[in-house]
Amino acid sequence: MFKSLVTPAAAALMMSSSAFAETMVSKVEVGVDLTAVKNETAAAYYTSIENDLETAIIAKLTQQLSTSGASVLVDVDELSLANSFQSILGIAESELAGSIIVSNLEDNSQHQSYDLKVSFEPAPVVLSADEDVVILRSNTADYYAQMVDAFAENVADKLK
């Protein structure tokens, strides 16, 4: 005969854990308008940012995708990119910012909206006087990829 080892209180505690509170997602949509592009370098990514960000968010939510569930809408408000030289000199920044709206017509408790901004700033390197200076450079494609990934990671974390 099977005997349950889980008390009702323990079962209630397990059901309230984050593993049971994941938001199921049926749709991810990213929109960008022309005014979101803040510099010439970022303009090169204008045509791909919607697809890149949608793909990154979906990839991080694979266990939560469903035919019914919440819709995640992202409106990119800003995209600016700089190279290492511009960032170090402080003459340009690499930022990705947007508004996120999560809505679920079947579960009103899953509605949320918030603004999110990620940026890439190179860390200063302090060397002693007798060391050789080596400059590590990243290009704008690296900054772009890291910001898209960080943005998607944050959106996915909020839905877990």
User: In this structure, what CATH number is given to the domain that contains residue 146?
Assistant: 3.40.50.10610
Count CB atoms within 10 A of the CB of residue 61. Answer: 22
Distance from C-alpha of 67 to C-alpha of 55, rounded to nearest angstrom: 17
The number of distinct structural domains making up the chain is 1
The answer as to whether 14 is a domain residue is no
The more confident residue out of 53 and 34 is: 53
Find the domain containing 68 and state its range. Answer: 23-158
Residue 43 has pLDDT above 70, yes or no: yes
Quote the pTM value.
0.75
The answer as to whether 5 is a domain residue is no
The answer as to whether 149 is a domain residue is yes
Confidence (pLDDT) at 142: 82
Return the closest-CA partner of residue 100 out of 92, 89, 109, 110: 110
> Which position has the token pair 């450079």?
137
The answer as to whether 1 is a domain residue is no
Mean predicted confidence (pLDDT) in 111-120 = 91
Beta strands at 94-103 and 25-32: parallel, antiparallel or unpaired:
unpaired
The answer as to whether 15 is a domain residue is no
Mean predicted confidence (pLDDT) in 4-11 = 38
The answer as to whether 16 is a domain residue is no
Confidence (pLDDT) at 126: 59
The answer as to whether 4 is a domain residue is no
The answer as to whether 10 is a domain residue is no
**For the CA atoms of 144, 149, 154, 157, what is the dihedral angle to 10 degrees?**
170
